[in-house]
Amino acid sequence: MKIEKPKAYYDNRIRKELCLLGLLGYGLNIDFVKNICFVVKDGKTVGTIKYKKIHHQNKKKNLPAVYGYVVDIDSDDISCHYTRNEDDDKLYFEFDVLNKGVKNSHVELSLDDTISLTIWNEKYGFFDFNLDKKHIYFSFPSKTDNFKIKETVSYGFCDDNVNNSAKEYYYQIDFCKGDSNINLNTNHEGTSLQICGKDYIEEYYADRVDITQRKFEDGKLTDKNDVRVLGTASEMLREHGMGIDSFNHFRYLLDKILPFDNDLIEYIIKTKDFAYFLEAFADDFKAIRSGYVLEKK
């Protein structure tokens, strides 16, 4: 006869899966006897998490049997299938986003000591987001009635030594006419505008920032300007404003694409100590950190 294990036992063992289900707004019903967790959405079972033997014992090689978790989720929002060793609790997820049962996005998401997110969306294209205690980086496509657009923004310490107070802010926008077949990922066609501000750290030149600006037309440099002015890269980010506007639009598109019940950026701010780099971009950073939860639009 099997002895039922307390729910906390399962919560500790399936921390990874509970993180994903929390973002999705899904629930969990546990069959303690059969060691099966049923994934539930709106009262309907949409998947299972099973604890089972995933590799048999190999006596010839003196290898023990390996146990783990087999996850299968198929709802109207998401298709997610993977098997993991019970000792592997990294918060890494890979799944397809569905629209009326049809795949329209592929997502890879890591929520461990560094944050990384990549999305391939059939309407917009490729999204990339990375965050750690040293840098924030995001790049994404969008479009208007007249233009195809790709924006790239990074902000953080100039090198891997976080004790160095020098920071760098970088913004780039690539665009072309909306009816063009140009692939903006090549950066060789269309128009590209780049601006970079890097703190200049010298004993006698405190609070200076080196600013470089470049313009390219079809891969050819057509304009450049280099100056050193009073200020810092952090002040430049705020005053330039386009990086902040870009982040707000990036966050808006994530909200449209990801089938999460909770805002992903809000989740990162609330759960990751190193999310302070988001404070430069997210106007609601302090509100979220103080415990106020914004309503999802």
Q: What is the sign of the dihedral through the CA atoms of 265, 270, 271 and 275?
A: positive
Amino acid 239: pLDDT: 87
The answer to whether 145 and 125 are in contact (CB under 8 A) is: no
The answer to whether 240 and 229 are in contact (CB under 8 A) is: no
Give the whole-angstrom CA distance, residue 23 versus residue 274. Answer: 20
Residue 102 has pLDDT above 60, yes or no: yes
Residue 213 has pLDDT above 70, yes or no: yes
Residue 13 has pLDDT above 60, yes or no: yes
Q: Please, which pLDDT band fits residue 3 given cuts at 50, 70 and 90?
A: very low
In this structure, what token pair is assigned to residue 238? 């705020």
Helix (H) or strand (E) holding 17: helix 15-24
CA atoms within 13 A on the CB side of 94: 5
Give me the residue spans of the domains in the chain. 1-92, 124-297
In this structure, what token pair is assigned to residue 134? 């040293």
Exposure string over 171-195, b if 16+ CB within 10 A, otherwise e: bbbbbbeeeeeeebeeeebbbbebb
Q: Please, which pLDDT band fits residue 295 given cuts at 50, 70 and 90?
A: very low
- Phi, psi (degrees; rounded to nearest 5) at 269: -60, -40
The answer to whether 250 and 265 are in contact (CB under 8 A) is: no
Closest-CA residue to 46 (of 12, 21, 23): 21
Residue 100, sorted as left (phi over 0), alpha (psi -120 to 50) or beta, turns out to be left
* Residue labelled with tokens 């906390």: 8
Listed as own residue / partner, the contacts of 174-180 with beta carbons closer than 8 Å and 24 or more positions apart are 174/149, 174/150, 175/147, 175/148, 175/149, 175/150, 176/147, 176/148, 177/146, 177/147, 177/148, 178/143, 178/144, 178/145, 178/146, 178/147, 178/148, 180/148
| Count of helices and strands (H, E) across the chain | 6, 15
Amino acid 182: pLDDT: 58
pLDDT higher for 32 or 217? 217
pLDDT higher for 134 or 159? 134
DSSP string, 73-141: EE-SSEEEEEEEETT----EEEEEEEETTEEEEEEEEEESSSEEEEEEETTTEEEEEEE-SSEEEEEEE
Residue 190 has pLDDT above 90, yes or no: no
Computed over every residue of the chain, the mean pLDDT equals 85
